Amino acid sequence: MARVVLGVTGGIAAYKAVEILRLLRENDHDVTVVPTTAALRFVGEPTWSALSGRPVATDVWSDPQAVAHVAIGKGADLVLIAPATADFLARAAHGIASDLLTNVLLTATCPVLIAPAMHTEMWQHPATQANVRLLRERGAIVLEPAVGRLTGTDSGPGRLPEPAAILETAVAALQAQHQPAGDPGGRGGQSGQGGQDLRGKRVLISVGGTREPWDDVRFLGNRSSGRQGFALARSALVRGAQVDLVIADVQAQAPAGCWSVRVSSAEELRETMHATIAERDPDIVVMAAAVADFRPIPDPRGKITKESLDTAAPELRLERTTDVLAELVDKRGSLSSPVIVGFAAEVTKAHESLEQRALAKIARKGCDYLIANEVTGGAVFGESSTSVVIVDQEGVRARLAGVDKAAVGHALWDTIASHR
């Protein structure tokens, strides 16, 4: 059971924090709610107290003998602020301890996760962006707000991410804080998890499986669930990175705090990866998506019907798609940035190891690192755990067997930090 401080500030999205509190409690975390005075105008103290099962901490003058403005922050395993208004970001960035919540921030030594929510103009204002940069430089995990409907008829970036997505990132931050250190060069340990070694870095990750249209209603796809790509994103977020996602066919919700764009086919993914690299200049690019190697040659009939075929079966003709990973490496040329990481779902044959296949593939692709997993019989697709090897051009750097997919992300970041 982790001790979580849930800070709630005075924005209309405060009602969503009630769901965040419920989810935290359902995951057996001990939660102390610290609402600002303005937050209590949106959701009252009885609600917070009833759902947390604890008294609500509201101001520095309550229970002064307990020195709550110091004790709450010092005793926390995670401080989660959701929603965080522009006013709160400004005060937090400049160390202004004008209420109990900002006092808690100044005494907390645990990870601090901040989920901003405000109107688009307020989020994009240079002052707010400067405050966010300052908070990130100091080690706070500040999520990008979601894009969507805001108060009234307005729509745009500034929406609070969904509570379930915020919970997943909070859990990732707690796991990263408490899991033991290891040896990234051997078993794929997690030596960097408690730190912010990706602070100031931008990571671009492709996620999911592509869909290649055959006719107007049919497509060829694959079994990629996107779980590994999203786990990579969360592990990068809690280590301080800004994370961009190019998401193919995925049903699951993207992690809170990431910029994202949706694609469908291999060609759409290819074009979007090139455009995103040019626009957002990432430090690390991870090709975790399962990109189709072949696509159907489109049928001119629009939709293939039984009547149009009489009794004959339709003919499926295939052509190769572009090797996106190899193309990204070629375009980068002799430059050292961005670091490029490939993924390989492998089916090994007799007298052949996963390591051998991974080393052969990285030699062909030319990327800096490659993560290979064994998928014989459909293994690992959609599962919470996996087994992988991480290699670079010099050899095997990490082996992980039967680990949570988040551990693969941490092992990758550890490996990159250790060898570059």
Give the count of beta carbons closer than 10 Å to the beta carbon of residue 337.
Answer: 11
Global pTM? 0.88
Q: pLDDT tens for the chain, 420 residues: list them.
A: 899 999 999 999 999 999 999 999 999 999 999 999 999 999 999 999 999 999 998 877 666 666 677 889 999 999 999 999 999 999 999 999 999 999 999 999 999 999 999 999 999 999 999 999 999 999 999 999 999 888 878 889 999 999 999 999 999 999 887 554 444 444 333 333 347 899 999 999 999 999 999 888 889 998 888 999 999 999 999 999 999 999 999 988 889 999 999 999 999 999 999 999 999 999 999 999 999 999 998 777 678 877 776 667 778 889 999 999 999 999 998 888 899 999 998 888 778 889 999 999 999 999 999 999 988 765 566 677 888 999 999 999 999 988 989 999 999 999 999 876
Residue for token digits 């059971």? 1
> Is 364 strand, coil or helix?
helix
CA–CA distances in Å: residue 60 to residues 17, 102, 152, 276, 331 = 22, 10, 34, 46, 57
Q: What's the distance, Cα to Cα, between the start and end of the chain in Å?
A: 36
222 is catalytic: yes
Please list, in sequence order, all residues whose beta carbon lies within 8 angstroms of the beta carbon of residue 222, skipping any fewer than 6 positions away: 209, 210, 290, 292
Q: Which of 27, 103, 131, 222 is catalytic?
A: 222
Which pLDDT value is given to residue 181?
43
Residue for token digits 């159907």? 296
Which pLDDT value is given to residue 420?
65
Q: Is the peptide bond before 338 cis (omega within 30 degrees of 0)?
A: yes
Structural domains in the chain plus CATH codes: 3-175 (3.40.50.1950), 181-419 (3.40.50.10300)
Pairing of strands 294-296, 318-320: antiparallel
Q: Which of 307, 418, 320, 402 is nearest to 369 (CA)?
A: 418
Which pLDDT value is given to residue 103?
94
Angle at the Cα of 134 from the Cα atoms of 133 and 140, rounded to 5 degrees: 90
Which pLDDT value is given to residue 61?
67
